């Protein structure tokens, strides 16, 4: 049986997950539209991904499904930024070589 307090906590957690995921969309969209991720540092991305992985391990160890979903979504979005950065960086380098 859910109490009012646990329903409120679940609503807050669900809203936080949704907002955390949606927050990535403008950044990913900007990278795709500009075809550039030059302003995003590799160290930042890697550290953010490692932190996300550690949070996922922690969530699994606690059996916290909500936390696991939240950090998995963030990890996926951060990974997409890394992949886009690598793709557009490679295209920039190959176009500079051919020029």
User: How many domains does one find in the chain?
Assistant: 1
pLDDT of residue 77: 93
Q: Where are the alpha helices (DSSP H) in 35-64?
A: 42-62
pLDDT of residue 68: 93
- For position 15, which CATH number holds? 1.20.1280.290
CA–chain centroid gap for 34, Å, is 19
Tokens for 64?
A: 């916290």
pLDDT of residue 1: 55
What gap in Å lies between CA 76 and CA 82, rounded to an integer?
A: 10
Mean pLDDT of each 10-residue bin along the chain, 99 residues long? 79 87 91 91 94 95 91 94 93 74
Domain that holds residue 14: 4-98
Q: What pTM did the predictor assign?
A: 0.79
pLDDT of residue 99: 62
The terminus-to-terminus CA distance of the chain in angstroms comes to 67
3-state SS, residue 65: helix
């Amino acid at each position: 049986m859910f109490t009012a307090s646990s329903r409120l906590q679940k609503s807050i957690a669900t809203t936080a997950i949704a907002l955390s995921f949606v927050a990535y969309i403008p950044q990913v969209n900007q990278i795709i539209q500009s075809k550039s991720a030059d302003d995003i540092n590799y160290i930042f991305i890697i550290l953010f991904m490692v932190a996300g992985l550690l949070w996922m391990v922690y969530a699994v160890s606690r059996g916290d499904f909500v936390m696991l979903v939240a950090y998995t979504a963030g990890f996926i979005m951060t990974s997409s930024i890394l992949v886009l950065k690598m793709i557009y960086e490679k295209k920039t380098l190959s176009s500079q070589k051919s020029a």
